[in-house]
Chain A
Amino acid sequence: MSGRVRLLQGNEACVEGALRAGLKFYAGYPITPSTEIAELLAERLPKAGGVFIQMEDEIGSIAAVIGASLAGLKSMTATSGPGFSLMQENIGYAAMAEVPCVIVNVQRMGPSTGLPTSPAQGDVMQARWGCHGDHPVVVLCPSSVEETFHLTISAFDISEALRIPVILLSDEVIAHMRERVVLPEGDIPVRSRPRPTVPPEEYLPYDSSFGDVPPMASFGDGYRFHVTGLSHDESGFPVGPGKTTGCLMKRLLGKVESRRKDLVNLSEEYTDDAEILVFSYGSPARSALRAVRLAREEGIKAGFLKTSTLWPFPSEELAERARKARFIIVPEMNSGQIRGEVERSLRWDIPVIPVGRLDGELMTPSEVLSAIREAAGRV
């Protein structure tokens, strides 16, 4: 691929991707290990005519991001565990009011203050279910610096096209490591939110007759519409329990569910004849790939699967690839949050072997390799 070769940190690649996707508004609050994103955007955004603001906390940051998006700008914030916890209520607001925005969570070890400079993957369930109430959300999970660049662009693309919050779930290893990256030249297509085609007096902000993603006007463009986190009808005004609320929830959740196949992003290596599959995501995917390669050198039929879209979870795709497998190994730097999803996807037909790590260190290839060898002994 032709392009500009750079040595970039994951957080830098995130900034490059966001700017290429058309980011025009960033609000954030300093927190390790995401801070480089704010620092770089503080320098870059004003030069690009965009807005950078350091808010008084993470709640204010996500609130300002939603306000900016309603005023028409592609908007984003970045944070880590403690800040991500604080943002949950307003992420739900963005889902309910259908306001596109991108939230970057660079995972660090928790709970609580935990290990601020150490990696973990303890937020994968929070990213899906962190805010109260059922809600649509897409969560993307990079395992390299270059992928951070591309997934950040995808996050804006999906967020805008579906009018939903999209979470880029990075981790401290990916965020801070530097890798050779080829930044592609030229335009990268990014979809924008659908815009109204009717005159202001006919505009309904949640009009589903245009499809499940209603056209979105911006504040100040003369449409004079109402936005609320309350359950609402097509006009945007509050309604009570019953059919209208039921339809709203069905449409909101359907936006992601009906596009599941387009959103899923599963890659594989050495899977053709694999009896033992390693299913991974984020930085442990790097350790998993090494382990699979080492296992192959030992003559073990191991295969590597990696998902870049964590939510919606690639259940069907995983089940399809696992048909011939005897064991699935799931390495993750938590106590098994995705393991349950894997088991559910495979309907408990194939034994799932978790490999967890909770001490703030990146999982090593030998940990995964031991699990592969053990499974091979049972094949």
Chain B
Amino acid sequence: MKIGVRLAGEGGQGLILAGMILAEAAAVEEGKNTVMTQSYGPESRGGASKAEVIISDSDIDYPKVQNPDVLLVMSQEAYDKYSPDLREGGILLYDSSSVKALNPKPSVKCVGVPLTELAKKEVGRALVANIVALGSLNELSSLVSHEALTKAVLGRVPRGTEEMNLKALEVGRRAVGHCGK
């Protein structure tokens, strides 16, 4: 088994952190071969941002994801740019608060969740949209166990924000059901 995941959006949305949490859940908690790469512009905020994670039972040679099995997009630009790369039969999760998923590939399972809105309204901070996204993404694609993901979130988020982030994870998880899993 080998799954390629791409998380894309804008700088400042916490996608690199989301990628790290997912990779850590797979590598450290589940002991799977894992590679994560990232790319971003010179600016710390704004600009395009992208993280890629490969989770595999066997060794991983080429570390980048060319045709993701699972794609998360949190900006329209990322949707337009990356949705054509998605593998046939892949899973696409988009932040319906800001992204319009026009003409997705017919074989793709395309799910919109208002990730940023949920983060704001249900958790109280737009900042945790990345964790909401992780909750939804993992519920859709079962990349890692829920326990592994929870542990990895707790291991990476700043002290004092654990409760908020766990809530975000749960909000994301439940949202997928509502949005017609």
Contacts and interface: CB of A to CB of B under 8 A. Distances in A.
A–B contact (CB under 8 angstroms): yes
Interface of A: 5-7, 116-117, 173, 176-180, 283, 286-287, 289-290, 293, 362, 364-365
17 contacts: A7-B24, A7-B34, A116-B42, A117-B42, A173-B63, A176-B37, A177-B38, A179-B27, A179-B63, A180-B31, A180-B34, A286-B62, A287-B62, A289-B62, A290-B61, A364-B64, A365-B61
A180 B63 contact: no
A179 B62 contact: no
B62 A177 contact: no
Determine which residue in A117, A177, A283 has the highest number of CB atoms from chain B within 10 A of its CB, and name it: A177
B145 interface: no
B35 interface: yes
A289 B61 contact: yes
Nearest to A118: B39
Contacts of B38: 176-177
A287 B64 CA distance: 9
Given A290-B61, A290-B62, A362-B64, A177 B28 contact: no
Interface residues of B, number: 22
A7 B63 contact: no
B66 interface: yes
Interface in B56-74: 60-64, 66
A293 B61 contact: yes
A179 B20 CA distance: 10
Contacts of A290: 61-62
B33 interface: yes
A365 B37 contact: no
A328 B161 CA distance: 55
B62 A365 contact: yes
Contacts of B64: 362, 364
In the complex, the 8 A-B pairs of residues with the closest C-beta atoms, listed nearest first:
A180-B27, A290-B62, A289-B61, A178-B36, A290-B61, A7-B27, A180-B34, A177-B37
Contacts of A364: 62, 64, 66
Contacts of A7: 20, 23-24, 27-28, 34, 36
Interface in B86-108: none
Interface string B25-53: 01110011111111010100000000000
B20 A178 contact: yes
Contact of B35 (A117, A178, A362): A178
Nearest to A180: B27
Contacts of A289: 61-62
Nearest to A4: B28
B61 A286 contact: yes
Contacts of B60: 179
B37 A173 contact: yes
Contacts of A180: 26-28, 31-35
Contacts of A6: 27-28
A293 B61 CA distance: 10
